């Protein structure tokens, strides 16, 4: 079994990217065996979604054209709608959103810093990569939630997608400046490791230090499958994962 937490995010990424073409057991089977506690799970998902709203807003502010600003306004709206859906699940449980997010606040702040990016292009790719990875992960794991909450989460996650808008903007950027490709490919690989740590945190919850605890389950095949989907998204952009 791979000991992920003995490794840096970059080590984790390298290991998974080497393995992503190996046939694996379907991720839904493995991840649906996980039964996350509802409030911490949704609180963490809400915190991450709010970070994506904020990040999309920052990318919007720095957008170089009206076309990009319009597309990114739609991205902000979609992530905000998801965040609202997650908050309503907590409200139905009688839990305030701030209280549910608070145990994960330090980790999410660290995650935000790790995916910041050096310029607008790296920030745009970070938004695309992270939202895709987290969406795939949450869709895979929500079958372990109670039925009503599971259905609400899936409706939020599988409603409108930011994928078309972000792919179009990234393609335009790369076509206009082909030398971006190598730098963005490297940045995309770096982002995977940071996102994976948030996935483990979602499965296990934080310990008293706020760090993720190592999983006791054999979840590597599921994460390999999620990274394989990421690789296909990078290939779509002509970026080698």
Q: What is the pLDDT of residues 80-111, one digit of tens each?
A: 999 999 999 999 999 999 999 999 999 999 99
What average pLDDT does the segment 196-207 reach?
80
How far is C-alpha 179 from the chain's CA centre?
A: 26
Q: Reply yes or no on whether the pLDDT at 30 is more than 80.
A: no
What average pLDDT does the segment 111-140 reach?
94
Q: Helix (H) and strand (E) counts for the chain?
A: 11, 0
Residue 203 burial by Cβ neighbours in a 10 Å radius (0-12, 13-18, 19+): buried
Domain membership of residue 74 (yes or no) is yes
Give the global pTM.
Answer: 0.82
Domain that holds residue 192: 35-235
Give the CATH number, domain containing residue 98.
1.20.1260.10
Q: Reply yes or no on whether the pLDDT at 213 is more than 80.
A: no
Q: How many domains does the chain have?
A: 1
Domain membership of residue 4 (yes or no) is no
Confidence of residue 185 (pLDDT cuts 50, 70, 90): very high
Confidence of residue 7 (pLDDT cuts 50, 70, 90): very low
Domain membership of residue 163 (yes or no) is yes
Domain membership of residue 154 (yes or no) is yes
Q: Which two tokens stand for residue 171?
A: 């393609």
Mean pLDDT of the chain: 82
What average pLDDT does the segment 171-193 reach?
94
pLDDT of residue 149: 86
- Provide the percentage of residues in the chain whose pLDDT is more than 90: 59
Domain membership of residue 7 (yes or no) is no
pLDDT of residue 186: 95
Higher pLDDT, 196 or 128: 128
Which of 34-43, 54-63, 128-137 has the least mean pLDDT?
Answer: 34-43
Q: Reply yes or no on whether the pLDDT at 207 is more than 80.
A: no
Domain membership of residue 107 (yes or no) is yes
**Is residue 237 classed as helix, strand or coil in its secondary structure?**
coil
| Residues in Cβ contact with 223 at an 8 Å cutoff, skipping those fewer than 6 apart | 16, 27, 196, 199
Domain membership of residue 25 (yes or no) is no
Domain membership of residue 18 (yes or no) is no
What average pLDDT does the segment 187-207 reach?
85
Q: Which long-range contacts (CB under 8 A, 24 or more apart) does 29-33 make?
A: 30/217, 30/218, 30/219, 30/221, 30/222, 31/137, 31/140, 31/141, 31/143, 31/144, 31/219, 31/222, 32/140, 32/141, 32/143, 32/144, 33/144, 33/217
């Amino acid at each position: 079994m791979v000991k992920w937490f003995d490794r840096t995010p970059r080590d984790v990424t390298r290991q998974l990217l080497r393995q992503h073409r190996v046939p694996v057991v379907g991720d839904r089977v493995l991840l649906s065996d996980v039964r996350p506690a509802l409030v911490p799970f949704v609180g963490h998902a809400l915190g991450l979604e709010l970070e994506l709203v904020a990040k999309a807003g920052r990318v919007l502010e720095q957008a170089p054209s009206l076309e990009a600003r319009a597309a990114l306004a739609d991205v902000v709206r979609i992530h905000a709608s998801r965040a609202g859906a997650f908050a309503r699940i907590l409200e139905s449980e009688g839990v305030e959103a701030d209280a549910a997010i608070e145990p994960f606040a330090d980790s999410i702040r660290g995650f935000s810093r790790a995916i910041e990016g050096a310029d607008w292009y790296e920030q745009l790719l970070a938004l695309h990569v992270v939202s895709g990875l987290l969406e795939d992960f949450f869709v895979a794991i929500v079958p372990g939630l109670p039925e009503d909450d599971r259905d609400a989460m899936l409706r939020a996650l599988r409603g409108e997608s930011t994928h078309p808008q972000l792919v179009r903007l990234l393609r335009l950027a790369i076509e206009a400046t082909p030398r971006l490709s190598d730098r963005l490919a490297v940045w995309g690989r770096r982002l995977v490791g940071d996102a994976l740590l948030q996935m483990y945190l979602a499965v296990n919850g934080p310990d008293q230090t706020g760090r993720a605890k190592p999983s006791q389950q054999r979840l590597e095949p599921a994460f390999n499958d999620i990274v394989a989907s990421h690789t296909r998204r990078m290939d779509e952009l002509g970026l080698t994962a």
